[in-house]
């Protein structure tokens, strides 16, 4: 009974196979056999119809919600500050911002520099701390992911140190480096290293066994395994880690600079608080948000460039 | 004919979290040079495990495996594997996927131009000469499997190990690739060990069919020699008494004498 059930679909399959043109000439070399049609190389996005006239309703649907959200925020802000004397209104803040950004790169001594300089100094610290973290964290992640022993050695430590607040690391930095700037960079380093370590390690652990089997069958050298299999396979995970890390680094810099001083957006916020210039603090919040967003978008762009379609 | 692959009294026990699992017992098999052997059996009977043992991807817990009179202790390019799910690297083009293998085997002894020519020849052999620059996600499942076969063949292996290479393909594509494989093997005179669960595929391609009993502790139940002369034509074979007879013998083994317990229950 089972045999009969088995038999009939196979018979149909064989029958249809017989009708295929290739079936009639098995003795010929494979070169002459029917070649499958080439798949079109066009990415699917290119197939989108090009609009003959401008698609206003589409643009509206895209732009309207975020604009409404922003409007709501400013509206509530304006309502709440209608009768306030201490908290600046949106209009006052906007005026202050115009003045501020009219000359972002002035420099009147170490404690009074334009907002452009402050942002650039902060970005420099982030770049240094984050760059060092990447240089240490990504290779460390590879080693931890590749060797189970190392993984079990370090994962309790990572779990222990990862949730520590950035500011708890600052005194250690000050103690060791005896200077504010390296301490801030150290704080960024130690806080932004974990996402990269963890993500890279997870990526290495999740490299499909099939690819590693291919490497074993081909008997690839450790270098080829690294460059041709591990690195491309881990890259998407790694870039996610990098993205999270940059976000963390940018979060940390503001807090660290508030404590260490010098030129930087965090210090600038604190300085303006001491001057009771609340408009500038609000502007700084927007600036910090926008720079963070820009960093994130930049890394998403890089990640897209290096991702491969499965 | 020499005894090319020798498997003596091989035992395989996996240790898992739930305890040990006895997958294979007392496997004895000799594969001669130039022979096409298929391993057939119900799912879970350890046929892929046996292939992995020959490939050297796993080590047996008992017994010995020899290839060309040398013990199989690790995977090597002389035993090329065509994986069930093609296992092409998605970030490399078809050319680069094959080139990776060619470079490893012939890189020390040949010039760059020769390596490129080998890669191209291998892809042309499987009818993929038109898609050298394509990435795996840009081609169909059947084409990916062709590239997988090209990668294996390009290494000029002593043995071609195939783990259900056509299992994931539709019936028509599978038939065409089977015919191409027959032509390629006739041309290259490769030794092939292939895992399959498809009775027609086994009978059409094989010199011998190794039928395995059900697991756990599966072993070789019976070996059937297929003496149908080559080249074989699937259309003519459909009514060939030898073919029908061989097919019946395999089905009888799989479904009457060693029916899968799940099949009986159903």
Task: Locate the domains of chain B by residue range.
Answer: 1-78+160-169+196-266
**pLDDT the model gives residue B1:** 54
How many Å separate Cα B72 from the centre of its chain? Answer: 17
CB nearest A26 (choices: B104, B130, B234)? B234
pLDDT, tens digit (0-9, with 9 covering 90-100), for B224-253: 999 888 888 888 888 899 999 999 999 999
The answer to whether the Cβ–Cβ distance between B176 and A20 falls below 8 Å is: yes
* Strand order across the B19-32 sheet: B19-32, B3-16, B62-67, B70-71
As a whole number, mean pLDDT of residues B63-70 equals: 88
- Go through the domains of chain A in sequence order and give each one's CATH number: 113-306 (1.10.3720.10)
The answer to whether the Cβ–Cβ distance between B131 and A38 falls below 8 Å is: yes
Size of interface A-B (CB pairs under 8 A): 145
CB B95 within 8 A of CB B119: yes
Q: What is the ipTM score, two decimals?
A: 0.80
Dihedral sign from CA coordinates of B129, B134, B140, B143? positive
CA dist A224 and A239 (Å) reads: 21
Cα of A30 to nearest chain B Cα, Å: 5
CB A287 within 8 A of CB A253: no
Within the 198-217 window of chain A, which residues sit less than 8 Å (CB to CB) from chain B? 210-211, 213-214, 216-217
Cα of A22 to nearest chain B Cα, Å: 6
CB B12 within 8 A of CB B207: no
Chain B residue numbers touching A24 (CB-CB < 8 A): 233, 235
Identify whether B216 is preceded by a cis peptide bond (ω within 30 of 0).
yes
Measured between alpha carbons, how far is residue A310 from residues B134, B136, B137 in Å? 13, 8, 6
Q: What angle do CA A180, A183, A185 make, to 5 degrees?
A: 115
The answer to whether the Cβ–Cβ distance between A210 and B127 falls below 8 Å is: no
Residues 6+ apart with CB under 8 A from B196: B38, B39, B40, B164, B166, B167, B202
Residue A22 in contact with partner chain B when CB distance is under 8 A: yes
Residue B174 in contact with partner chain A when CB distance is under 8 A: yes
Residue B89 in contact with partner chain A when CB distance is under 8 A: yes
Cα of B30 to nearest chain A Cα, Å: 22
Mutate to test the interface with B, among A12, A17, A211 (most CBs of B within 10 A): A17
DSSP labels, A207-238: S-HHHHHHHHHHT--HHHIIIIIIHHHHHHHH
Record: fold of B1-78+160-169+196-266: Rossmann fold (3.40.50)
Tell me the two tokens of residue B21.
């699992």
**pLDDT the model gives residue A129:** 93
Chain A residue numbers touching B238 (CB-CB < 8 A): 14, 18
Q: What angle do CA B66, B89, A238 make, to 5 degrees?
A: 120
**pLDDT the model gives residue A52:** 57
Cα of A36 to nearest chain B Cα, Å: 8
Within the 38-67 window of chain B, which residues sit less than 8 Å (CB to CB) from chain A? 55-57
Residue B200 in contact with partner chain A when CB distance is under 8 A: yes
The per-residue pLDDT of chain B, averaged, comes to 88
| Residue B76 pLDDT greater than 50, yes or no | yes
CB nearest B89 (choices: A3, A20, A228)? A228
Within the 220-279 window of chain A, which residues sit less than 8 Å (CB to CB) from chain B? 220-221, 224, 228-229, 232-233
Residue B1 in contact with partner chain A when CB distance is under 8 A: no
CB nearest A14 (choices: B91, B200, B256)? B200
CA dist B5 and A129 (Å) reads: 58
The answer to whether the Cβ–Cβ distance between B125 and A30 falls below 8 Å is: yes
| Residue B200 pLDDT greater than 50, yes or no | yes
CB nearest B127 (choices: A16, A27, A30)? A30
Within the 216-255 window of chain B, which residues sit less than 8 Å (CB to CB) from chain A? 231-235, 238, 251-252, 255
Report the chain A residue with the minimal C-alpha distance to residue B140. A39
Residue A306 in contact with partner chain B when CB distance is under 8 A: no
The answer to whether the Cβ–Cβ distance between B172 and A17 falls below 8 Å is: yes
Chain A residue numbers touching B100 (CB-CB < 8 A): 218, 220, 224, 228
Report the chain B residue with the minimal C-alpha distance to residue A212. B87
Residue B130 in contact with partner chain A when CB distance is under 8 A: yes
The answer to whether the Cβ–Cβ distance between A33 and B134 falls below 8 Å is: no
pLDDT string in tens for chain A (310-residue length): 333 333 333 344 434 443 444 434 444 343 333 444 444 444 444 444 454 567 788 888 888 999 999 999 999 999 988 888 788 888 888 888 888 888 877 777 777 778 888 889 999 999 999 999 999 999 999 999 988 899 999 999 999 998 888 888 888 999 999 888 899 999 999 999 999 999 999 999 999 888 888 888 888 888 888 888 888 889 889 988 999 999 889 988 888 888 887 788 888 888 888 888 888 899 999 999 999 999 989 988 888 887 765 4
Report the chain B residue with the minimal C-alpha distance to residue A213. B57
**pLDDT the model gives residue A113:** 78
Helix H or strand E segment including B12: strand B3-16
**pLDDT the model gives residue A21:** 42
CA dist A233 and A241 (Å) reads: 14
């Amino acid at each position: 009974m089972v045999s009969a059930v088995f038999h009939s679909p196979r018979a149909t399959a064989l029958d249809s196979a017989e009708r295929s043109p290739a079936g009639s000439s098995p003795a010929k070399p494979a070169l002459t056999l029917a070649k499958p049609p080439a798949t079109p190389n066009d990415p699917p996005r290119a197939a989108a119809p090009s609009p003959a006239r401008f698609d206003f309703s589409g643009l509206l649907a895209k732009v309207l919600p975020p604009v409404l959200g922003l409007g709501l925020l400013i509206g509530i802000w304006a309502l709440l500050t209608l009768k306030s004397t201490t908290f600046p209104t949106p209009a006052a803040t906007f005026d202050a911002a115009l003045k501020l950004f009219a000359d972002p790169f002035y420099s009147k001594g170490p404690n009074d520099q334009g907002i452009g300089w402050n942002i650039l100094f902060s970005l420099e610290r982030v770049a240094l701390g984050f760059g060092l973290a990447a240089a240490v964290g990504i290779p460390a992640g590879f080693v931890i992911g590749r060797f189970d022993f190392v993984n079990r050695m370090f994962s309790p430590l990572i779990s222990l140190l990862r949730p520590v607040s950035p500011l708890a690391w600052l005194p250690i930095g000050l103690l060791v480096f005896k200077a504010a700037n390296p301490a801030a960079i150290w704080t960024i380093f130690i806080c932004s290293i974990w996402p990269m370590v963890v993500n890279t390690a997870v990526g290495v652990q999740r490299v499909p066994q099939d690819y590693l089997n291919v490497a074993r069958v081909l008997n690839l050298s450790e270098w080829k395994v690294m460059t041709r299999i591990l690195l491309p396979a881990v890259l998407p995970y790694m870039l996610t880690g990098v993205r999270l890390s940059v976000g963390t680094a940018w979060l940390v810099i503001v807090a660290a600079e508030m404590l260490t001083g010098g030129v930087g957006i965090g210090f600038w916020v604190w300085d303006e608080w001491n001057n009771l210039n609340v408009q500038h603090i609000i502007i700084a919040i927007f600036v910090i948000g926008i720079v963070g967003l820009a960093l994130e978008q930049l890394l998403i762009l890089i990640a897209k460039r290096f991702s491969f379609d499965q | 004919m020499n005894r090319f692959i020798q498997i003596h009294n091989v035992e395989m026990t996996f240790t898992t979290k739930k305890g040990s699992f006895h997958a294979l017992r007392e496997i004895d098999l000799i594969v001669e040079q130039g022979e096409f052997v298929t391993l057939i059996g119900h799912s879970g009977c350890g046929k892929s495990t046996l292939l992995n043992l020959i490939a050297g991807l796993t080590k047996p817990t008992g017994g010995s495996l020899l290839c060309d009179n040398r013990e199989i202790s690790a995977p090597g390019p002389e035993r090329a594997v065509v994986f069930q799910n093609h296992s092409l690297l998605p970030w490399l083009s078809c050319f680069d996927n094959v080139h990776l293998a060619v470079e490893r085997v012939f890189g020390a002894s040949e010039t760059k131009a020769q390596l490129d020519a080998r890669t191209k020849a291998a892809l042309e052999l499987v009818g993929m000469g038109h898609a050298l620059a394509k990435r795996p996600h840009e081609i169909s499942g059947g084409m990916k499997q062709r590239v997988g076969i090209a990668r294996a063949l390009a290494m000029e292996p002593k043995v071609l190990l195939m783990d259900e290479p056509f299992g994931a393909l539709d019936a028509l594509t599978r038939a065409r690739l089977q015919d191409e494989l027959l032509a390629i093997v006739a041309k290259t005179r490769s030794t092939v060990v292939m895992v399959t669960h498809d009775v027609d595929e086994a009978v059409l391609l094989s010199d011998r069919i190794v039928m395995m009993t059900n697991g756990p502790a599966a072993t070789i139940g019976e070996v059937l020699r297929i003496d149908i002369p080559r080249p074989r034509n699937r259309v003519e074979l459909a009514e060939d008494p030898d073919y029908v007879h061989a097919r019946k013998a395999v089905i009888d083994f799989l479904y009457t004498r060693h029916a899968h317990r799940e099949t009986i229950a159903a």
